[in-house]
Structure 1
Amino acid sequence: MLPPAGEGRRWKPKRLRLRLISAAGQLAMTGRRQYLRIARHWPWAHLNTTAFDRLQALPKPG
C-alpha cells in the first residue's frame, strides 16, 4: 500500500520483507509509550524510519 521510497521500490516482496522485518532493533517502553530503537549501523535503517514517518503522517481513521 505504501511502497518505500528510493531503492526499495524495485525490490520484490520477499526481499522487502527481509530488509524491513529483519532489522536489528529493540522495543523500549517508557510510561505508556513504546519506542522502536533501530540500530543506526544497519544498512536499511533509513527505510524503516521513513516508512514509520509516512504511516504516522496518514490521517487518523474515523
Structure 2
Amino acid sequence: MLALTGETRRWKPKKLRLRLFSAAARLVTTGRRHRLRMPDRCPWTHIITRAADRLHALPNPG
C-alpha cells in the first residue's frame, strides 16, 4: 500500500490481487541483475511499474 496512489490505494484486497498478481511477467537474469519484464498490452503495467519505482525510491531503513 506504500507504493499505490489515488484510486489504486482504495482497491479492495480481492481486486488488488486480481489486478497486480495476475499480470503475466518474465523474470530475466542478465549477468548479476534480475529484471522483471512486463508486457505493454497488460492494462495494469503502468500501475505496477510506477509502484515498483516508488518502492525503490523509499529511503533505506537501516
TM over 0.5: yes
Q: Alignment identity in percent?
A: 61
**5+ long unaligned stretches in structure 1:** none
TM-score, normalised by the number of residues in structure 2: 0.88
> Residue in 1 aligned with 2:10?
10
> Residue in 2 aligned with 1:20?
20
**5+ long unaligned stretches in structure 2:** none
TM-score, normalised by the number of residues in structure 1: 0.88
- Contact residue 3 and residue 52 of structure 2 kept, 8 A: no
Matches of 2:35 and 2:52 in 1, distance apart? 11
- Higher relative contact order at CA 8 Å, sep ≥6: structure 1 or structure 2? 2
CA RMSD of aligned residues (A): 1.3
